Amino acid sequence: MKLSLFSFLMVMSFNAFSVVNGEGLNWDDNDAIVRFDYEDNVGQCTGTLFAGKYILTAAHCLYDQNSIDRITTVSNSILKKDTTVVIHPNYQDSGDSSVGQDVAILKLNKNISYSNAFYFHSSTNDPFNYGEIVEINGFGGTSGNLNKAKLKLTDWRDCQGSSCGGRGDYLLYAELYNDSHTIGGDSGSSWINSNNEIISIHKGSSVVNSNGFRWRETYSTNVNDVKDFILDSVNGWHYPTEIKTKGKTTVTVQSLHNSVVTDMAFVKGNLILIPEESSCLNGSIKPFQKCTYTIEGESGSLILSNEDVINVSSIDNDTGNTGSGNSSGGSLNFLILLLLASISIFRKRA
């Protein structure tokens, strides 16, 4: 009986440990990350929401028209046929291998709700920083749960894997930092640096055996090399579409316009824009430049343009609930269940 109960608890908690050496993440806290699915197969690739209604991912995830049929966000499911797919013009797929910038952008027909935006590296200079630890958040091998791996950026000239042949400056390379690593389904994930910025788009990894040594190499497409592709595809603002606040708050936005722009924002509803605390009002804004708006009030909209709108609502103090979503809290649930089971067994013995 004790063995059967323990086995049952292990099965119930399996999802919490479904990625070996990965760290579970709460999807609600990372709601800009999306999952690509096909029929009953979830987690075929990963993408990142940005600029309201765009998704950044790898081109090889979308090159085969029959590989993905829907995109799943933390709260919705979107049919791929209802999106517009733009693949980088230099990308060439050759079955098991590819060359060129492995990046694609999907445009949705409306804004998607998310509040935790990842902004792009400024792209005025190469984001490569030797030895920096980067994070990759993806759905690979997790049956739908979101997990994180950490990697260390290293010199691409050390690269010896199959994806290194004919490498251009568009590829960033990383090696293992700890025991965690990416697997199938993580393709298209954003590499996030220590400043919480997107520096590249995950392409893949391979295990190398050379001179008696064995190691894993991981590759991605540098955003610095696809900046014009991003700007031409969007030509608008990048921002969180939903903000919850209590009183005054500062909102960061990023220009993804293909030319210099100036502030045109205004507020509606029960909101006040505070000019002296808003850096976006200080002058011209260059492509990939970030700036801020400080607003005060309980609810309304911060309107950046006709298409770029940030919805603002007050924090619900009654529940204090930030949502459970698809969190990776299974390990805690397992411990609680195990403790309760132990207490039950102890009482029976007593």
Please, is 182 exposed, middle or buried when counting C-beta atoms within 10 Å of its C-beta (0-12, 13-18, 19+)? buried
Q: Does any domain span residue 68?
A: yes
Is the same domain home to 112 and 10? Answer: no
Q: Pick from 166, 201, 227: which residue ends a domain? A: 227
Is the same domain home to 167 and 278? Answer: no
Is the same domain home to 341 and 304? Answer: no
Q: Does any domain span residue 320?
A: no
Q: Does any domain span residue 319?
A: no
Is the same domain home to 239 and 170? Answer: no
Per-residue pLDDT of the chain (350 residues; tens, 9 = 90+): 443 443 333 333 323 333 335 677 899 999 999 999 988 877 788 999 999 999 999 999 988 767 789 999 998 899 999 999 999 999 998 766 678 899 999 999 999 999 999 999 986 777 777 888 899 888 876 667 888 888 888 776 555 555 454 455 788 877 776 665 666 678 899 999 999 999 999 887 666 665 655 556 777 899 999 999 999 999 999 999 999 998 899 999 999 999 999 999 999 999 999 999 999 999 999 999 999 999 999 899 999 999 999 999 998 743 444 433 444 433 334 444 444 444 444 333 33
Is the same domain home to 204 and 102? Answer: yes
Is the same domain home to 44 and 193? Answer: yes
Q: Does any domain span residue 156?
A: yes
Is the same domain home to 109 and 166? Answer: yes
Q: Give the residue numbers marked as catalytic.
A: 60, 102, 187
Q: Does any domain span residue 200?
A: yes
Residue 297 domain boundaries = 235-314
- Total number of domains in the chain: 3
